Amino acid sequence: MEAVVLDIKGKDTGRKVSLTDAIYAIEPNDHAVYLDVKQYLANQRQGTHKSKERAEITGSTRKIKKQKGTGTARAGSIKSPVFRGGGRVFGPRPRNYSFKLNKKLKSLARKSAFSIKAKENAIVVMENVNFDAPKTSAYSDMISNLGLNTRKTLLVLGDSNKNVYLSSRNLQYTQVITASELSTYKILNSGTVLLTEGAVEKIENILS
């Protein structure tokens, strides 16, 4: 599978890169994709939720009425969950939502995500991007030249580039990451994936 390399003005450079079928043309494994996205979203959760149970409520421990003869249910504490201001029954407690996935499954999920995007013709290969200084308008012009200003874009760089990252930071529907930061969620959450030539090589090294 070959892809035309575009420059930052959206024009054909005359070069082509080979996208290996083992990454961009496999039969997608939907369950692997589901598990990897589920893990990514679970890892974003802080898990700091907490409510007070009856043992943690500040209040008197005296018996609030006599045991028998009132005609209602017996009650031993104002901190009981049945009273207003009492503790909560089985309330949320701090916990860690992350879970483990095997490396091979995560790799399969990312290959499946790339294959899905390739079938949708949503992968664009471009020359390595570099700006002399951080400038949002320069990045915005590049996206417009590629005809992607109405789509959510993910630009994948081979190596980190501070100027490119800072130029994109103010734009709402675009994200810049390096090949090592790729995740199944980020690939599928974008409308179009922009791969630089350096990123294509790095991705093949990572997923091969």
- State how far the Cα of 145 lies from the Cα of 128, in Å rounded to an integer: 15
Grouping H, G, I as helix, E, B as strand and the rest as coil, residue 203 is helix
Task: Encode 125-156: b = buried (16+ Cβ within 10 Å), e = exposed.
Answer: bbeebebeebeeebbbebbeebebeeeebbbb
Per domain, the residue ranges of the chain are 2-45+98-207, 47-96
pLDDT of residue 2: 85
Q: What is the fold of 2-45+98-207? A: Ribosomal Protein L4; Chain: A; (3.40.1370)
Phi/psi at 182 (5° precision): -65, 145
pLDDT by residue (tens digit) across 78-126? 999 999 999 999 999 999 999 999 999 999 999 999 999 999 999 999 9
pLDDT mean over 21-41: 95
pLDDT of residue 12: 85
pLDDT by residue (tens digit) across 142-184? 999 998 888 899 999 989 999 999 999 999 999 999 999 999 9
- In 59-206, beta strands by DSSP E: 123-126, 153-157, 174-178, 192-196
